[in-house]
């Protein structure tokens, strides 16, 4: 099990010069400390900026501490094989179409 431990306004972040999440190099903004890995033996031990720390903090506040998170990119266009309606045009963006097309997507 991978654990993410965030300490807000932590002294461990004082020497950090870059946010491990967004990459900002403004050392004054890097105020938080994050550890990621197995409990007791983190693989990552880094600084995090105030804004990224706040986002992580808000996610945990809203959804709870016992949280498993998966991040995926959404599919925005159907391929030729996935279009099941004759005449549907998969290469035009939805905002370019005057009507809405319905497609069945196979996963």
What are the pLDDT digits (tens) for 88-101? 655 555 444 444 43
Q: Identify the DSSP state of 85.
A: S
pLDDT at 19: 96
How far is residue 33's CA from residue 45's CA, in Å, rounded to a whole number?
7
pLDDT at 90: 54
Q: Are 4 and 56 in contact (CB under 8 A)?
A: yes
Half-sphere exposure for 69 (CA within 13 Å, toward CB):
12
How far is residue 82's CA from residue 101's CA, in Å, rounded to a whole number?
13
pLDDT at 8: 95
pLDDT at 75: 76
Residue ranges of the chain with pLDDT lower than 50? 94-107
């Amino acid at each position: 099990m991978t654990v993410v431990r965030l300490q807000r306004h932590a002294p461990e972040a004082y020497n950090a010069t870059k946010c491990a999440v967004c990459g900002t190099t403004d050392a004054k903004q890097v105020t938080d400390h994050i550890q990621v890995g197995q409990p007791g033996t983190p693989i990552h031990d880094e600084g995090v900026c105030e804004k990224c720390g706040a986002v992580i903090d808000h996610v945990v506040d809203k959804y709870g501490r016992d949280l498993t998170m998966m991040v995926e990119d959404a599919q925005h266009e159907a391929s030729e094989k996935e279009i099941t309606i004759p005449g549907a045009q998969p290469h035009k963006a939805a905002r370019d179409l005057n009507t809405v097309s319905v497609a069945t997507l196979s996963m």
